[in-house]
Chain A
Amino acid sequence: MIDPVPPALIFIIGALIVPFFKGKLKSAYLLFLPVLGFVNLISIPEGNNWIVGFLDYNLVLGRVDRLSLIFGYIFHLISFIAILYSLHVKDDLQHVAGLVYAGSALGVVFAGDFLSFFVFWEMLTVASIFLIWARRTKASLDAGYRYLLVHAAGGLCLLAGIVIHVNQTGSIEFGYMGLNGLASYLIFFGFGLNCAWPVLHSWLTDAYPEATITGTIFLSAFTTKCAVYALARVFPGTEALIWIGAIMTGFPIFYAVIENDLRRVLAYSLVNQVGFMVCGIGIGTHLAINGAVAHAFNDILFKALLFMSMGAVMYRTGKINGTDLGGLYRTMPLTCIFCMVGAASISAFPLFSGFVSKSMVMDAAAGGHMRGIWFLLLFASAGVFHHAGIKIPFFAFFSHDSGMRPKEAPLHMLIAMGIAAFLCIFIGSFPGPLYSLLPYPVNYVPYTAPHVLGQTQLLFFSALAFTLLLLSGIYPGEMRCVNLDADWFYRKGARLFYRVADRSFNWVNSVCDRVFVKGLAGSLGRLSRDLTARIALLILVSFWILRGVSGKKLEMKKTNFYNDILEGTLPVGIGAGLAAVFIILIFVLT
């Protein structure tokens, strides 16, 4: 048996070889990588592996415990599904970027020290940006640049926090910290940005819908979940997270209701789902952390499934706006069914995966007697069914007939969606295997009669509200429009900044040009040219006036003398005299 290697390496080094394969062999190779990675993963012993000395510190490239392992499993699983889904892509850039991205995510979750953690964290950003740019439209290019700048700012914040932390404690160990002092706040903020906290979230809803069809599947899985992992590792039980998470679950659903781009609707619901995880980590009890991690696991699957179904629609029709779609169930029935499985899972219908994990967070909130939080989460649960559960499938596959009769999605896409859909139902119906992987022992029973009934009532009556609002015409119609969000501040703010900078700096520039370049330098030049002549004239004129020279003759004498000095055609005596005057002048002045 070959010794295991750090999980990140298989993906990152494996990615670099992708361009050397062609055709079927390449497909086989791509699918082989996550399988190889998984075999490698399960042969790694628990504890700290691959401790590498670097400067005065020890890097830990493989800290394997129950928390990192479950993220490792799901990252391998989703890599396999996403690669299967993207087999039709001929663009090597996307394959390489996707694999490096997945590898970086594995690097993040298995890092046992802040230094290697930070390196992989930044690689996440760099790799993922190519999945956005690979769409090669102007919108994706612009969104990619914004994504890069926002993440660079967050990354620098995190780095500053890490540097201060290491400086203060002398340890680079990546472990529990809690909120105390500047370093922890900076790190907290850095995590929060990747986690898409309210106001910091708009990079996600801005960039993800602009990525390639297959790129979005990767994107939806890794960046935010790595941040959730980091929060669970460093800040479990931090009270601020409870409220941050609860607000995250609430506000995006309002946007999702009025958004037209269906992938952007999913991006908003991604923020909403991550909110449940953040909230669970904030509550910090074993039940809550288990719930957060289990929900991250399930969310990766059902969110990928939803993005895949919308991707398939986009692949076949070239359209993704609610205004352009509708009635596709006729010719894409399987995609439609898979989409509805994803929708049922995200809405936490009994027997679907969301039910067995989201309720853990809800119950943890109730167990802590957090009334306001519990009401907010319940509101978000009803709301998520409304926009992700009903709106997505309804506007894409039912609603008005768009007249389009596209072919069913390609086989490899259907298989990828089928695997994800199967897992959603399997986990929902048999939560035991998932529960056995969670960081803490589980003695939670999701399927009790009142719980099932309450949740079903909640969802069915949400559906009733949707039906009645739609039939009565109150439901907001899909519109072609842009909805302002927090990214307004930097998208418009950047232009304002540019204009202000343009006006003020260029004004200073032009004033300097006028005063110094054209004005001062010119007059200095003139002075240095005829300063001696003027001084000599001053002396001589008074001398001439004393001798009674006046009028025209004086003028003539002045002009002649001035020209003589400038041209240097003075008699030697006067020249010597002037030189003497000049030397005396310098002597006096200095």
Chain B
Amino acid sequence: MQNTENGDQKAKEYLFDKPKNVKLLLSCFYASLLILLIIEFFVHKHPHFAWEGWLEFYAVYGFVACVVLVVAAKYILRPLVKRREDYYD
């Protein structure tokens, strides 16, 4: 429950305050992923590189790239470069 500064004022409900809406959004998202995977079978490709013709290449690459990005940033880069906020002061 989020209250504004006036405690007596009834907090307004916003779009994503209801878990139902968040769930709906996520389901739509997962459904669109599935549709994207299926459409590929109906699209004629003319790739520059051989691997562009592989099945679901872009989907896999996008997913793997982002996981690698986040994991590398969190577990390699951050320990190397993180300093206290007043490091330069």
The reply to whether B81 and A460 contact each other, CB–CB distance below 8 Å, is: no
Residues of chain A lying within 8 A (CB to CB) of residue B62: 382, 457-462, 465
B70 interface neighbour in A386, A450, A485, Cβ under 8 Å = A386
Decide if A574 is an interface residue (CB 8 Å cutoff). no
The reply to whether B77 and A255 contact each other, CB–CB distance below 8 Å, is: yes
Residues of chain B lying within 8 A (CB to CB) of residue A481: 82-85
The reply to whether B67 and A469 contact each other, CB–CB distance below 8 Å, is: yes
Q: Contact string, A397-410, partner B, CB cutoff 8 A, digits 1/0?
A: 01001010100000
**In the bound complex, how far is the Cα of B73 from the Cα of A254, in angstroms?**
5
The reply to whether A476 and B66 contact each other, CB–CB distance below 8 Å, is: no
Decide if A479 is an interface residue (CB 8 Å cutoff). yes
**In the bound complex, how far is the Cα of B63 from the Cα of A466, in angstroms?**
9
**In the bound complex, how far is the Cα of B60 from the Cα of A355, in angstroms?**
20
Residues of chain A lying within 8 A (CB to CB) of residue B2: 327, 401, 403
Closest to A367 in B: B48
Decide if B24 is an interface residue (CB 8 Å cutoff). no
B83 interface neighbour in A367, A371, A474, A483, Cβ under 8 Å = A483
**In the bound complex, how far is the Cα of B62 from the Cα of A485, in angstroms?**
27
Decide if A447 is an interface residue (CB 8 Å cutoff). no
Decide if A378 is an interface residue (CB 8 Å cutoff). yes
Residues of chain B lying within 8 A (CB to CB) of residue A450: 43-47, 52
Instruction: Count residues of B near A (Cβ-Cβ below 8 Å).
Output: 50
Decide if A464 is an interface residue (CB 8 Å cutoff). yes
The reply to whether A482 and B73 contact each other, CB–CB distance below 8 Å, is: no
Decide if A267 is an interface residue (CB 8 Å cutoff). no
Residues of chain B lying within 8 A (CB to CB) of residue A255: 73, 77, 81
Q: From B26, B39, B48, B73, name the one whose CB has the most chain A CB atoms within 10 angstroms.
A: B73
The reply to whether A469 and B70 contact each other, CB–CB distance below 8 Å, is: yes
Chain B contact residues, majority secondary structure:
helix
The reply to whether B66 and A482 contact each other, CB–CB distance below 8 Å, is: no
Nearest Cβ distance between residue A288 and chain B, in whole angstroms?
14
**A258-B78, A465-B66 known; A453 and B43 CB under 8 Å?**
yes
Residues of chain B lying within 8 A (CB to CB) of residue A383: 65-66, 69
B65 interface neighbour in A379, A456, A474, A482, Cβ under 8 Å = A379
Number of CB contacts from chain A to chain B under 8 A:
150
A476 interface neighbour in B4, B44, B45, B78, Cβ under 8 Å = B78
Residues of chain A lying within 8 A (CB to CB) of residue B87: 482, 484
**A461-B59, A479-B82, A482-B87 known; A453 and B36 CB under 8 Å?**
yes
Decide if A286 is an interface residue (CB 8 Å cutoff). no
**In the bound complex, how far is the Cα of B44 from the Cα of A425, in angstroms?**
27
Per the 8 Å Cβ criterion, residues 48-73 of B in contact with A are: 48-49, 52, 56-63, 65-67, 69-73
The reply to whether A460 and B32 contact each other, CB–CB distance below 8 Å, is: yes
Decide if A238 is an interface residue (CB 8 Å cutoff). no
B43 interface neighbour in A378, A449, A465, Cβ under 8 Å = A449
A466 interface neighbour in B37, B66, B86, Cβ under 8 Å = B66
**In the bound complex, how far is the Cα of B46 from the Cα of A456, in angstroms?**
17
Residues of chain B lying within 8 A (CB to CB) of residue A363: 48
Residues of chain A lying within 8 A (CB to CB) of residue B88: 482, 491-492
B81 interface neighbour in A371, A454, A467, A485, Cβ under 8 Å = A485
B26 interface neighbour in A257, A330, A467, Cβ under 8 Å = A467
The reply to whether A458 and B81 contact each other, CB–CB distance below 8 Å, is: no
Decide if A463 is an interface residue (CB 8 Å cutoff). yes
Closest to B70 in A: A469
Closest to B71 in A: A474
The reply to whether A462 and B66 contact each other, CB–CB distance below 8 Å, is: yes
Per the 8 Å Cβ criterion, residues 13-46 of B in contact with A are: 14-16, 26, 29, 32-33, 36-37, 39-40, 43-46
Closest to A485 in B: B81
The reply to whether B14 and A330 contact each other, CB–CB distance below 8 Å, is: yes
Residues of chain B lying within 8 A (CB to CB) of residue A429: none
Residues of chain B lying within 8 A (CB to CB) of residue A379: 65, 69
List chain A positions with a Cβ less than 8 A from chain B.
253-255, 257-258, 327, 329-330, 363, 366-367, 371, 374, 378-379, 382-383, 386, 398, 401, 403, 405, 449-450, 453-467, 469, 474-476, 479-485, 491-492
Q: A258-B82, A374-B49, A461-B66 are in contact. List 18 more A-B contacts (CB 8 A).
A: A329-B14, A366-B49, A378-B65, A382-B65, A382-B66, A382-B69, A386-B70, A453-B40, A458-B58, A465-B63, A465-B70, A474-B74, A475-B74, A479-B82, A482-B85, A482-B87, A483-B77, A491-B88
Q: List 23 A-B contacts (CB under 8 A).
A: A254-B73, A255-B73, A257-B73, A363-B48, A378-B61, A378-B65, A382-B65, A450-B52, A453-B43, A454-B57, A461-B33, A461-B66, A465-B62, A466-B70, A469-B67, A474-B70, A475-B74, A479-B82, A481-B82, A481-B83, A482-B86, A483-B83, A484-B87
Q: Which 10 A-B pairs have the closest CB atoms?
A: A465-B66, A366-B48, A458-B62, A461-B62, A257-B73, A484-B81, A457-B58, A476-B74, A461-B63, A382-B65
